[in-house]
Amino acid sequence: MAIVYSSLVYLGYILIFPGFLFCFVAGMLITGIDRKIVAKMQKRVGPPILQPMYDFFKLMGKETIIPAAANKTVFLAAPIVGLAAMVVIQLFIPVISTPILYGTADLIVILYLLLIPALAEIYGGSASGSPYAGVGLSREMVTIIACELPLVLIFLSVAKTVGNAMGTGLCFSLSDIAAYQAANGSLMLKASMIPAAIAMLLVIPGETGNHPFDAAEAETEICEGMLAEYSGAPLGIYKLTHAIKTFTLTALFVALFLGGIGTGIVLLDALIEFAICVVLTIIFISLVHAVTARLKIEQLFKYYWTAVSAIALISLVLAWFGM
Amino acid sequence: MDLPFVREAVKNLFSRSSCDMYPLKPSEAAEQYRGRIEYDPTKCINCHFCERVCAGGAISVVEVPVEEGTQITRTFDLSTCTFCNTCADFCNTHAIKLTKDYHMIGLKEGDLLVSGTFVKAAKKKPAPPPAEAKPEEKAAPAIKPRDDGKPVQDPSKCVYCGICAKKCLGEALTVDRKEKLWKLDEDKCVSCGTCEEVCPKKAIIM
Amino acid sequence: MILFNYIASFFLIVLGFYCIVTKYNAVKTVIGLSIADYGVNLLIISIGFNPGGTAPIYTWGELNPSSFFVDPIPQALTLTSIVIGACTTAMSLALVIKLKESYGTLDTREIRRLNG
Amino acid sequence: MTNLLSYTHFPVYSIMVLFLGAFLVVIAGKSKALRHIFAICAVTASLACLIALIKPVMIDGEVIAYWMGAREPAGGYAIGIALEVDALSLFFGLLIATAVFVSCCYSITYMRFDENVSQYYTLFLMLSGGVIGLVLSGDLFNMFIMVEILTFAAVALTAFRNKAHGALEAAFKYLVVGCIGSTCILAGTIMLYAQARTLNFAQLSAFIPGNFNTSTIIAFALLYIGFSTKAFIVPFHPLAADAHGAAPASISVLISGVLTKSGIYGIIRLTYFLFQSMALGKMQFLLVFIGSVSMFVCVTMALAQHDFKRLLAFHSISQIGYVLTACGLCTALGISAGLYHAMNHTLFKGLLFLAAGAVLQQTGTTDLNKLGGLSKRMPHTTVLFLIGAFSISGIPPFNGFASKWMVYQATYQKAVESGNIGFLFATIIALITSVLTLASFVKVSQSVFFGQLPEEYKDVKEVPFGMRFAMGIFAVLCIVTGLFRELVTHYLTEPAARAVFDVGKYINSMLGDGYASAVMGANAPVRTEVVFDMAGTWQPIHWLLLLCILLLAITLVALLGRYDTVSENKAALAEGKFDIFFGGEESVPSQVGGGDLFWGFKHNWRHYFSFMHDLHSGIVNDYALWAIVALALAMLYMLIVL
Amino acid sequence: MFKNLITESTAKSPWLFHINSGSCNGCDIELVAVLTPRYDAERFGFKLAGSPRHADIVVVSGPLTQQSLPRTLRAISQVPEPRCIVTIGSCPQSGNVFKGSYSVMAPLSKYVHVDVAVAGCTPKPEAIMDGLVQATEILKEKRKAWLEAKKNGLKDGPKAETEQEVPAAEDVPASGEEVQQ
């Protein structure tokens, strides 16, 4: 009996709470708020908050055209794998300070899991065989490389700081980080962590491919880049993955740097976390979206590998010398 | 990466949007906006000028002989019209007017056609104009306008400058300054009234 | 006397490497290789030398504690090393012939289709 | 010696079977079937012998010492030539035997178009016999002989298709620098013999740590350079790139999967056993530095390549960089991670080279700019290639990730323990290299398998089943070793790591108990316990379970939109409904691939790329110069350090 | 359960794909003006899509010159099924002042069934917005018609109007070869 119960709870975790349903709603709301705020900043009225939901369900009803030159199986399977991996990442991230799936993955696994949704889009685009997709995926790959260095430095510095405090000198597992923060205050307050937090906030728009860094999906230049040949349900799933990614990355930031403010009750924590994520998106994604122009791909790369990496490196060096 | 518009963006965030909510609050077009064509068939004298001047060829006329004259239906095809207002300028009887209504959405075939029909009374063959009205007949006390609306010249005022001939679109007038000759060709004349208007000496009466 | 052997073998090895590096003709590279190989062979032989020892050939009867031989193992190693040197030279000369056939030249500066 | 079937004889059987097979293949002469049977039987027999050895050596931890010709050591002095099989050499032996077995199955169908294939099989079996001999031998000069065998066989096999583009040139360069390496090994062996008057590994490792003097240190430098030529580490990596570019695919599997491992094995034996000097910080720094440099240089070179197999060659050297960095850490976790990555490397690199061979055979070219869209004509090869590509770039469920994850842990833990920031840079370089590997394999999959199919490859057919079966074996192994990380580490890599840290047992089992403590006295190698706790947690099985459940859920969501509204009614084809959107134009075939990908990255690093391009000039003399300069530097470094 | 939700949201998130077949850019500026803060079509979910595969409403402007006609038709055919075609300005409906020129193949309705025609030589942004809102209604009708047809058996729903009523467009010049005058 216990097995059945625990597997039901396990299934509940996956499909309902921090899993698919919660991500769907949270992701859609955050993207809706993001679009509304960007519109407001341009003195426009902007779409209703539930606009991403309408977009998603409209796309569900549309016809899915598969180009003759496309490789059908990869073309249709890629979005599903991308979305599944995205939700899996969301499961591994502790809700502020209570880890949901204990002991399955750690920081490095998260770093590599973040690649899968981007890879799903890349292989979807390349399977469609369109030259726009080719250019799009080349830019997407360069964006991934660009965002990798700062993320690596941030994760290493977080691991080192928590490791120092925990005595083992190194701690990658997310649940220990969450436990540490629950015990003695969120990491954001430590001196060595502030540059890492700033770097992480600068990386989020790049990682999710939002406006100033969306050379990969530039609808004006290369007709939506990798998604040029997608229509109907697969396109809807890609848009959903993009929405959930915004939520997941901000949730990751909250889990890594603001762990201390958890109250212990999981549902309440989830609301607090969602609120913080909305605030972070407004400041670091919408404001940046409304204010900047799209960067060329090599400017994006140079920006990430020099400016943001330098900030992250400061925190790594500080963490290294035991601050 | 300097972010020049941050202050402005944040200010906008908390100020009212500059959108004037079109479908909820109707918005009027500007004063002399050239929108949907309004055609008043009663005023129309079927002078065909509007067709000739229309750049886009948007105006088409169907003339059906009916017992008391010809039934003329003139249709303005808004989907070809460039709304340049030339036809309204040329229409002397001001039958065509471009209104301020900009709402011109065509869903079915006929939505964008504005048409009007009127019956033009058949022309009774008037007695031939007194042919003897020679140029040298001077002392006619008051030149009375002819009944069929064609122009009549008042030799006393006329200086034979030839402007009326130049302006006449139908080339119905021939004027010779030396022999002081002013001749009207009845069937070419459509009695549009341009010569009367343009004559500097007001020597033409209709 | 032994010291001279070591200096000679060192000198041979360095000469071989010098020839490989500086000469741009494929055949000369092969010659350089074999010179370096001969240097090492000389080194192996001169290591096994015990002053005053005789050649390590004996019949079962003569073997008595007082007989004093030169160390036999390096000699065996030298044999194999010479055989290997010969094979290397044979193989590389075969390759050089084929290279001349297909590239038309022996100048190693021309033989560089695979680069970058 | 009475019972010929007891497992103590298996090491010799596994080597001799292969050489016997090489001989029989020549006798088989004309008949193809006989030749294939001999080859397959020899390879399977050798693999079987090694698998049979797992029980005694790996699980029970016994070290088999096998004296050729039953010449037991007399009076503590080794006379005969010995084969020594401990967990480390068996680990490498198993690895090599599997790679050889799969490559042999592959080459049966792969070489069906070539003529004089019997010479191919002789060389093939000689090469595999040589490598297994090298790994199992306990005698230094015996190792040198085996190194010579496999160098000759590899050079001959590289030039096997001498009309291929650059095959002869690659073989010549490989031979020249290979012989420089062999000469160094020979000189090193002899200088050790001059000091210790013995060639036996155990006796040497008992003798040398006691008395370091200039000649043993120079011998160490010579042997180190000799083995790194065989492992194609940084100063010698253009050899591998040229050799793979021209060699047939089944031979590239051997060169990249097997020869590099033999080089790594040599270096591990040299540094951990013969000279036991890895405890010194400076020595660890040398190996980790060389490893990181080769990691980064080769991955950036791979990004700039236009040829499929040359790109794979550069990747195999960058993965060897990973292995060397991990093994150079001298921590239990490091060695275990390094060996695990070496095994994974053989598996996924073999798979990728076989896929490249399949593409080469069907389309006749491996130029990334000309190929495209092959996934529609060769679906199985594409799936197998993708498994290989995902595992090399370290995508979670596959085996590349499991070992890279351990490598990062090892390097970062070492950095924390030793407080030396150098190892931290190794971790950062390792992580960045992993992303660049992913980038170059996205480039390959876009320019070869996806994108648009050019005209001339319209009627390309799928590869015959034999080749796909071989690739399938590698693919299955890639997935299995990725998923069951604990099993692999428990049964394979940890015993090997224990063997590396237990030199005393290695010596005693060869020359009788108590020998090591008797001879070395003070600095007898103490047996360090192999226990390491992971700083992070990673259970692939849970992860996979999660992914599958979510895949089901999301397919339900997708069906909500009824994917069946997929309208593929080809009738509307005339209108261009199913053509690619070209801004309205007729869809002209235009493949985006090969050179014009990742402009952003290459533009920012253009000075670096042009410098590296000129550095690899392709002239034999330059490569030889690098080899000799590396030798001189190594000698200088060793003299200062040791 | 989702069926009417999908039908509702079809009208609520129409994505536009703009094709300029030789227009004087007057209508193009007006179309973009619709998206500016003053008129803000995004309130109704309008968004310019980059590729025809993403579009619901195809907005055509310009008199369909001879070079751009085949390309426009191909782009329109690449739009997935419940789609609407809206023409802006009088050029696509009749060729405006350029009628009769050798290179103008004007009324788009000769080749494709036009759902909404917004008249005006540069129609006012409000007019365009009305037209587009009208188009979203038609989208919903098309989706409903498509569901009915699907319910009573037609495999792929009703043959889209575009194929039914279009007279055999025999004088569509195959792309590339010149139109004999």
Counting the structural domains of chain E, the total is 1
CA distance E45 to D404: 46
Residue ranges of domains in chain B: 28-121, 152-205
Residues 6+ away with beta carbon under 8 Å from D400: D344, D348, D390, D391, D392, D393, D394, D482
Q: What is the pLDDT of residues D231-287, one digit of tens each?
A: 998 888 888 888 887 888 999 999 998 999 999 999 999 888 888 887 788 888 999
pTM of the prediction? Answer: 0.87
- A297/D563 CB distance under 8 A: no
Query: Does chain E touch chain B (at least 3 C-beta pairs within 8 Å)?
Result: yes
Considering only the beta carbons, identify the residue of B55, B79, B81 that sits closest to E117. Answer: B79
D557: pLDDT strictly greater than 80: no
pLDDT of residue E179: 38
pLDDT of residue A171: 82
Q: Is residue D71 part of a domain?
A: yes
**Antiparallel, parallel or unpaired: β E57-61 and E15-20:** parallel
Q: Is residue D568 part of a domain?
A: no
D580 at interface of A, judged by CB pairs closer than 8 A: yes
Q: Is residue C110 part of a domain?
A: no
Average pLDDT of the residues of chain A: 87
Report helix, strand or coil for D566.
strand
CA pseudo-torsion sign E118, E120, E122, E125:
negative
Query: Where residue E83 sits, what CATH number does that domain have?
Result: 3.40.50.12280
Residues spanned by the domain of D505: 7-520+532-547+597-641
Candidate ranges B101-105, D19-23, D516-520; pick with highest mean pLDDT? D19-23
Mean pLDDT of B139-144: 57
Q: Is residue D571 part of a domain?
A: no
The rounded Cα D275 to chain-centroid distance in angstroms is 24
The CATH number for B152-205, chosen from 3.20.20.70, 3.90.1150.10, 3.30.2130.10, 3.30.70.20, is 3.30.70.20
The chain D residue lying nearest A122, using CA atoms, is D442
Mean pLDDT of C23-46: 93
Q: Of E174, E162, E163, which Cα lies nearest the Cα of E66? A: E174
What is the residue whose two structure tokens read 């496309």? A70
Considering only the beta carbons, identify the residue of D575, D583, D586 that sits closest to E77. Answer: D575
- E50/A235 CB distance under 8 A: no
Give the number of C-D residue pairs with CB atoms closer than 8 Å: 120
Q: What is the pLDDT of residues D344-387, one digit of tens each?
A: 999 999 999 999 999 999 998 888 888 888 888 899 999 999 99
Considering only the beta carbons, identify the residue of A37, A43, A292 that sits closest to B1. Answer: A292
Neighbours of chain D (3+ CB pairs under 8 A): A, C, E
Q: Of D393, D387, D389, D358, which Cα lies nearest the Cα of D374? A: D358
Task: Choose the weakest-confidence range: B27-41, E101-115, E166-180.
Answer: E166-180
D572: pLDDT strictly greater than 70: no
E101 at interface of B, judged by CB pairs closer than 8 A: no
Would you list the DSSP string of A102-164?
TTS-BHHHHHHHTHHHHHHHHHHHHHHT-HHHHHHHHHHHHHHHHHHHHHHHHHHHHHHHHHH
D407 at interface of A, judged by CB pairs closer than 8 A: no
Q: What is the pLDDT of residues A260-281, one digit of tens each?
A: 777 777 788 888 889 999 999 9
Residues spanned by the domain of E78: 3-165
Q: Is residue E181 part of a domain?
A: no
Helix residue ranges, H only, C23-108: 26-47, 72-103
Counting the structural domains of chain D, the total is 1
- A45/B19 CB distance under 8 A: yes
H or E stretch at E85: strand E84-88
The chain E residue lying nearest A52, using CA atoms, is E13
Q: Is residue E171 part of a domain?
A: no
Q: Residue B73 — φ and ψ, nearest 5°?
A: -115, 125
E163: pLDDT strictly greater than 80: no
Q: What is the pLDDT of residues E118-160, one digit of tens each?
A: 988 889 999 999 999 999 999 999 888 888 877 776 555 444 4
Q: What is the pLDDT of residues E27-48, one digit of tens each?
A: 999 999 998 888 888 889 999 9
B111: pLDDT strictly greater than 90: no
Q: Of A204, A227, A225, A222, which Cα lies nearest the Cα of A279? A: A204
CA distance D590 to D474: 34
CA distance B77 to B112: 6
**CATH number for the domain running over B28-121:** 3.30.70.3270
Q: Is residue D577 part of a domain?
A: no
d(CA D563, nearest CA chain A) in Å:
7
pLDDT band at D560 (very low <50, low <70, confident <90, very high): low
d(CA E80, nearest CA chain D) in Å:
9
Contacts of A291 in chain B (CB under 8 A): 3-6, 9
Counting the structural domains of chain A, the total is 1
Cα angle for residues A11, A17, A23 (degrees, 5° grid): 110
D564: pLDDT strictly greater than 50: no
Measured N-to-C along each axis, helices D260-268 and D140-158 cross at an angle, to the nearest 10 degrees, of 160
A293 at interface of B, judged by CB pairs closer than 8 A: no
Residues spanned by the domain of A109: 2-320
CA distance B137 to D163: 116
- A51/E6 CB distance under 8 A: no
Counting the structural domains of chain C, the total is 1
- A127/D395 CB distance under 8 A: no
The letter for the amino acid at A257 is F
B1: pLDDT strictly greater than 60: no
pLDDT of residue D522: 58
- A224/E54 CB distance under 8 A: yes
Average pLDDT of the residues of chain D: 86
Residues spanned by the domain of C41: 2-52+70-103
Q: Is residue D573 part of a domain?
A: no
Buried b (16+ CB within 10 A) or exposed e, E123-152: bbbbbbbbbbbbbbebbbebbeebeeeeee
**Antiparallel, parallel or unpaired: β E116-118 and B105-106:** antiparallel
